[in-house]
Amino acid sequence: MSVWAIGDIQGCHGSLMKLLDKIAFNPTHDRLWIAGDLVNRGEDSLETLYYLYSIRESVEIVLGNHDITLIAAYYGIKKSNPTLDSILHSSDAKMLIDWLRHQKFLHVDYRLGYCMAHAGVSPEFDLGMALRYAKRLEEKLQHPHAKTWLKAMFKEGANKFDRKASSIDIDRYIMSAFTRMRYCYGDHRLDFDQKGAPTEALRKKGLKPWFECENRAEIDLKIIFGHWSTLGFYHDDNVLALDTGCLWGGKLTAARIDTGEVEIVQVACDKTIAYL
């Protein structure tokens, strides 16, 4: 059995199939970890969901910001777009959305020594806090009245964790950290505006990648994340970044994580769109 983690797919079904063929993935005995953003912008979002749903017993998925946008579009909270319309107009829309709603924000495997969240884990959270707060979001997204709660998630939220804040503001912070985070300041405030690669100019402004933030809460597991295509592949003792910008003319990346040395396999994306 092998275990492979894959970065943001974003509806690039053809590239996903090429990558799975290249790593000889067999869902009867291998496992996939998907770091979120299964859909949106790529033309084959419906096919991507159908495939992952078909092998759902062999896949661990964490939700990304684009997956949350799809769920919100299903509820009429956010506007759809042509790459999501095929899902929303499908006769299986409810089945697929309900399946997505029951995915995680944080996946942990103590035996392998990894955890995975779409954008990473807030520098404020140790592993226990991260698990607790991820579960908090999961329960609310799975609730029969999830629509009302999710609508509140799209209002502007706090960039600093505050235990004394209102319940909904705490939820907004947790959601933003797990799905949208890239940079932080020295006081652990998160910046959700900067989308580019780390530069000296940004560092001089006090902005660092979240995983370099001073006094970040200690997590003994290596954190797998996606979301940051301009960062690209990055690997150190603490994190493994796998969004290599397939949709933006880059590649789709898989990392084998059940062996001593991380093995990287990549394929070029079938389709490319201009960077927004």
How many C-beta atoms surround the C-beta of residue 104 within 10 A?
A: 20
Domains of the chain, by residue range, sit at 3-268
Short-list 81, 10, 38, CA closest to 273: 10
d(CA 74, CA 267): 31
pLDDT of 276 > 70? The answer is no
d(CA 37, CA 227): 8
d(CA 133, CA 139): 10
Instruction: Give 196's DSSP letter.
Output: S
CA distances from 120 to 46, 166, 184, 240 (A): 26, 23, 12, 10
CA distances from 67 to 10, 150, 196 (A): 9, 12, 21
Percent of the chain whose pLDDT exceeds 90:
93
Q: What's the pLDDT at 41? A: 86
Going by CATH, does the domain composed of 3-268 fall within 3.60.21.10?
Answer: yes
**CB-based contact 65:118 (threshold 8 Å):** yes
239-268 pLDDT per residue, tens: 999 999 998 889 999 999 999 889 999 999
